[in-house]
Amino acid sequence: MLTADEILAIVNDYLDKLPYNRNPKSLYEPIKYVLSMGGKRVRPTLMLLAYNLYRENPEKILMNAIALETYHNYTLLHDDLMDHADVRRGKPTVHRKWDANTAILSGDSMLVLAYERMAQCDAEHLGDVLNLFTETALEIGEGQQFDMEFETRNDVTEDEYIEMIRLKTSVLLACALKMGAILADASKEDQENLYKFGEQIGLAFQLQDDYLDVYGDPKIFGKAIGGDITSNKKTYMLINAFNHANAEQRAELEKWVSAVDFDRNEKVQAITRLYNEIGIDKMAIDKINWYFEQSKKYLQAVSVSEERKEELAHYAEKMMKRKY
């Protein structure tokens, strides 16, 4: 079996060598740029690790794994445009390096490329693979729409937020694992248990993003921390700060959230101090750990030897200890 590091090296090498022979070059340059910016490659790694539970030749499905990475980066490209983000992974975003129209059109082409790459699997699995991929893509769009709608609402509940991040983030990790299992001819039970494993990992992963946006090191995180705070993004942390604040703390939270003109650093520091006072940092860590523990039950139910599951379990553990 391959280690996660070996899989990552194979994925990066494969991505680097992918040809873009179509014209105009100006349409495909931003796509190559986005996919060359690095990143953790979590989704293709999970897909290949899941496949490797059952088969010894994960290289066979590399193009399908790259399809997931292409799709994921397409969503990031458009997210950056919608969020007016200037930096991604320490580099200028596509709409900043080029322009908004290029970001839209190159992003649309990335989506089509993702489907073209996903369709390059054997005919036996094509229907199941495309059905899962399409359902996942629809769910991610639904999650993004919920996220946008939450921006204008002040009554978002924790349950609504968890469902939104399940759709926006978690289902793609779940899809990666289930797709690897499908292509390896795993049992339906194993496919579903791996999907649920990925779903729980994905929830913990996104909650960790929320946490790192406040408490991460910007040099490691790749962007300025506090972006969620300055944009009043309805995160697990902000929702629970309002839920658990006393009257004085709530008044200060409302002051900062409703402020139109403010000093960015002052707002980030003030909200972070309130989070610390209310105990939101500990609450977030506890929730992340709870979802991670839940995920282990589903991986344990997968019907391959514990020895074969070790690398996937280790990789999930590593995901939970990330700093960026």
CATH number of domain containing 257:
1.10.600.10
State residue 57's pLDDT score: 95
State residue 324's pLDDT score: 66
State residue 223's pLDDT score: 62
The domain tally of the chain equals 1
With beta carbons less than 8 A apart as the criterion, state whether 273 and 267 touch. no
- 3-state DSSP assignment of residue 73: helix
State residue 87's pLDDT score: 85
Q: Which residues pair with 88 in a beta bridge?
A: 91
What is the mean pLDDT for each group of 10 consecutive residues in the chain (324 residues)? 95 94 96 92 98 96 98 96 88 95 97 98 97 98 95 92 97 98 98 98 96 87 80 95 97 95 96 97 97 97 97 95 75
Residue linked to tokens 């036996």: 124
State residue 85's pLDDT score: 87
How far apart CA 105 and CA 92 sit, in angstroms, is 18
State residue 222's pLDDT score: 58
- 303: CB partners within 8 A, 6+ apart: 187, 189, 190
State residue 321's pLDDT score: 84
- 3-state DSSP assignment of residue 123: helix
How far apart CA 146 and CA 138 sit, in angstroms, is 13
Q: Which helix (H) or strand (E) holds 87?
A: strand 87-88
Amino acid present at 104: I
State residue 322's pLDDT score: 78
* Strand 91-92 with 87-88, pairing: antiparallel
Q: Could you count the other beta carbons within 10 Å of the beta carbon of residue 273?
A: 12
Residue linked to tokens 């193009």: 63
DSSP category for residue 92 = E
How far apart CA 201 and CA 82 sit, in angstroms, is 26
Backbone angles phi, psi at 44, to 5 degrees: -65, -30
DSSP category for residue 88 = E
Residue linked to tokens 């293709």: 44
Long-range contacts of 117-126 (CB under 8 A, 24+ apart): 117/63, 117/64, 117/66, 117/67, 117/70, 118/64, 118/67, 118/68, 118/71, 120/63, 120/64, 120/67, 121/61, 121/63, 121/64, 121/183, 125/182, 125/183
Domain that holds residue 295: 4-320
How far apart CA 1 and CA 311 sit, in angstroms, is 9
How far apart CA 81 and CA 97 sit, in angstroms, is 12
With beta carbons less than 8 A apart as the criterion, state whether 105 and 24 touch. no
State residue 218's pLDDT score: 77
With beta carbons less than 8 A apart as the criterion, state whether 82 and 97 touch. no
